[in-house]
Amino acid sequence: MIKHLPSGAIHVNNINLWAHVGVLDSERDCGQSFLLDVTLWLDLEKAAKMDDLSSTLDYSIAINRIQQLSFQINCQTIEHFSKRILDCLEELYGDLPMKIYLRKCSAPVQGFSGDVGVEMGRHFPNN
């Protein structure tokens, strides 16, 4: 169990995704746009000091895998989609502390032009 957050974090923001997620049949049939922010906490000291790529993580792999997932998924809730993204990240990087913020860019609510988001995380130390 992790006792405290590592001193560094990698942030990947505004990953554009297209997915078939929503309560309405039309949302699941046609798909829609999502934006995703990912934060992964890890020790970055060795990579920073030695300029050593093997001492950090390759975030391009996560981006590609999440994009693949977004094309395959068909579900009703952004909560479920978020869980599947966290599962994917955990599969890639293990039990690093991680947080995602997934936003549905055009929620089908009459008179509403904003976005709707879900924030979820895993592997945080107990407070």
Q: With CA atoms as reference, report the closest residue to 64 among 98, 111, 17.
A: 17
Q: Which of the following is catalytic: 46, 49, 99, 104?
A: 104
104 annotated active-site: yes
pLDDT in the model for residue 86: 98
Q: What is the CATH number of domain 8-45+56-122?
A: 3.30.1130.10
Domain range annotation of the chain: 8-45+56-122
Q: What's the pTM?
A: 0.93
Measured distance CA(80)–CA(46) in Å, rounded: 35
What pLDDT, in 10s, does the model give residues 22-40?
999 999 999 999 999 999 9
